[in-house]
Amino acid sequence: MPHFVTSEAELEALYGQPAGPAVFKEIDHISEHYRRFIETSPFVVLATSGPEGLDCTPRGDPAGFVRVVDARTVMLPDRRGNNRIDTLRNLVRDPRIALLFLIPGEGRTLRINGRARISVDPELCASFTMEGKPPRSVIVITAERVYTQCPKALVRSRLWDPARHVAGGTLPSSGTIMKALQEGFDAESYDRNYPQHMKATIY
């Protein structure tokens, strides 16, 4: 297929150079305004890298679950999941991390690029306890680049528009998907029991 862009020079010729707010809104620390975005967000997407490739994973909790420690440091608990630990496995081999914070109803997003370590300090983990259950570990991130992203993508997608919400039953259930991947999988029981399983294991 022709017309692939293969160099930075070609990209710059096509798009030009960023200027104005696109440049000066990026800083190397968490300002008070950026702190408000982080503390208002109940949802963040983490991107990490490892020898096998890239990984991107969602994390969510009540707003404020990502703790701003100081102008260069944020922490977030690693809540109970499926034990794939793709993010954590990547971080012990490559500490680079990127975070994208979303706030329901807000078009702008906030991005942090930096480096992370995994803490299992008992007192720190206990400080993130929810419903009587502390996380097994806490991801401690040192911010290197922090900036807001303009709302164009969320405006174009109409992400927060209730009229765009997908009706229940439109997509195949999790059980249906897994049954197609594993012969003999009991999709009906899985889907029937999952709401209670979710409730019992969310923390």
Instruction: Render pLDDT for 109-154 as a digit per residue (tens, 0 to 9).
Output: 999 999 999 999 999 999 999 999 999 999 999 999 999 999 999 9
Average pLDDT of the chain? 96
Contact criterion met (CB below 8 Å) for 137 and 120: yes
Do 120 and 172 fall within a single domain? no
- Taking alpha carbons only, the member of 74, 75, 72 closest to residue 30 is 72
Whether residue 60 sits in one domain with residue 95: yes
182 in any annotated domain: yes
Give the closest residue to 65 by CA, choosing from 83, 42, 82, 87: 42
* Mean pLDDT for the stretch of residues 67-95: 96
- Amino acid 2: pLDDT: 81
Residue 36 lies in a domain: yes
Task: Count the Cβ atoms, other than its own, within 10 Å of residue 184.
Answer: 5
Question: For the segment 158-178, what is each residue's pLDDT rounded down to a tens digit?
Answer: 999 999 999 988 999 999 999
Q: pTM for the full model?
A: 0.94
Band the pLDDT of 203: cuts 50, 70, 90. very high
Cβ atoms 145, 28 nearer than 8 A: yes
Directed axis angle between helix 174-181 and helix 187-201, to 10°? 120
CB 142 within 8 A of CB 116: yes
The backbone region for 189, taken as left when phi is positive above 0, alpha when psi lies in -120 to 50, beta otherwise, is: alpha
Cα 127 to the center of its chain, rounded Å: 21
**Co-location of 110 and 189 in the same domain:** no
Structural domain count, the chain: 2
Would you say residue 14 lies in a domain? no
Bigger pLDDT: 83 or 66? 66
Cβ 203 vs Cβ 125: under 8 Å? no
Per the structure, the complete domain to which residue 73 belongs is given by: 21-156
pLDDT the model gives residue 97: 98
Report residue 100's pLDDT band, with 50, 70 and 90 as the boundaries. Answer: very high
> Residue 6 domain-assigned?
no
Shared domain for 169 and 144, answered yes or no, is: no
Nearest residue to 72 via CA among 100, 127, 22, 34: 34
Residues 190 and 144 both lie in one domain: no
Q: 193 lies in a domain?
A: yes
Q: How confident is the model at residue 183 (pLDDT cuts 50, 70, 90)?
A: very high
Side-chain half-sphere CA neighbours of 4 within 13 A: 3
Q: Largest Cα–Cα distance of the chain, in whole Å?
A: 58
Q: What is the CA radius of gyration of the chain?
A: 20
Q: Is there a single domain that holds both residue 48 and residue 130?
A: yes
**For residue 105, pLDDT beyond 80:** yes
Q: What is the CATH number of the domain that holds 107?
A: 2.30.110.10
